[in-house]
Amino acid sequence: MSRRSLKHYLYVTIFGTHTRAGRLFDILLIIAILSSLLVLTLESVPSIASEWGKQLRALEYTFTCLFTLEYLLRLYCSPKPSAYAKSFYGVVDLLAILPTYLAFLFPAASSMSVIRLLRVMRIFRILKLVRYLQDSNILLRSLLMARRKIFIFFSTVAILVTIFGSLIFIIEGPENGFTSIPKSIYWAIVTITTVGYGDLVPQTHLGKAIASITMLLGYSILAVPTGIITAELSQEMRTHKTLVKCPNCSKSGHESDAIHCKYCGGELAEPNQRVVVNEGKN
């Protein structure tokens, strides 16, 4: 195999998902990421760390070596290494290995090693897999279409939380635990999101009335983001459905997992090809 074809083969395997080797690589990578996350997590449990600390550290070094090798290979086989290095995943890939080396060089910076948990974001690579591409595109586009409505919703929640937080601060006051406005706003967030820790609760009658209104408001305005996303999503799904055309009779409106045209029976384009077409249009 020539050097160029090797580079291309690596590229197709590591970055692509169309070949069998590419899919295998993706699956192995996800297993490695999940295992390394498990190791990092277990290392933080004092009782486990004291007993298995050595073995866990050895495993962690192994995973870091593997991820370093993978990073170098990606840099090597990428047609534009600098573009990859500056991309979102390129930075995440680097952040996933850097802390281990820094902790090795400067033992004092070991607390920084939690950054390694950002490795978890590498799991998003799974969305690259053909099966999930279409669905994650639909979800992302719905969120994108709804971004202004979501912003308005969050502004409204921020305003409500400030108003109810200051109200409870005046009514309850420091003697009942509401020592400052930021703390009262924290209480309002805990209440309006229906989390309700119970570490800070109103004691006076009026405070309880205000809390009740906050809860009922939080309970009902949850309906707004749901309504926004549902409306956008069902519109997006309907649009997407109509985009799939039969190459034989040109009729559209096929289910996204249909293989044959429901009007003439002609074979439809393969799902991953269809996705490419849609992406070109958007």
Instruction: Identify the bridge partners of residue 245 per DSSP, sorted by sequence position.
Output: 252
Task: Quote the CA–CA distance of 136 and 128 in Å, as a whole number.
Answer: 9
- In terms of CB distance, is 19 or 234 closer to a second copy? 234
Site for a second copy in 95-134 (CB under 8 A): 111, 114, 117-118, 120-121, 123-124, 126-127, 131-132
Evaluated on CA atoms 180, 183, 185, 188, the torsion sign reads negative
- In terms of CB distance, is 55 or 193 closer to a second copy? 193
Site for a second copy in 55-84 (CB under 8 A): none
For residue 104, the surrounding DSSP H or E stretch is helix 88-105
267 binds a second copy (CB under 8 A): no
- Binders of a second copy: how many residues, by CB under 8 A? 84
Say how far residue 209 (Cα) sits from the centre of its chain. Answer: 38
Site for a second copy in 199-258 (CB under 8 A): 199, 201, 205, 208, 211-212, 215-216, 218-220, 222-235, 237
Q: Are 261 and 254 in contact (CB under 8 A)?
A: yes
Dihedral angle computed from the Cα positions of residues 104, 106, 110 and 112, in that order, rounded to the nearest 10 degrees: -110
- What is the per-residue binding string for a second copy in 5-44, x denoting contact by CB under 8 A? --------------------------------x--xxx-x
259 binds a second copy (CB under 8 A): no
152 binds a second copy (CB under 8 A): yes
Which range touches a second copy (CB under 8 A), out of 13-21, 187-195, 263-271, 274-282? 187-195
Task: Quote the CA–CA distance of 109 and 208 in Å, as a whole number.
Answer: 47
Among 32, 73, 102, 139, binds a second copy (CB under 8 A): 139
Q: Are 237 and 154 in contact (CB under 8 A)?
A: no
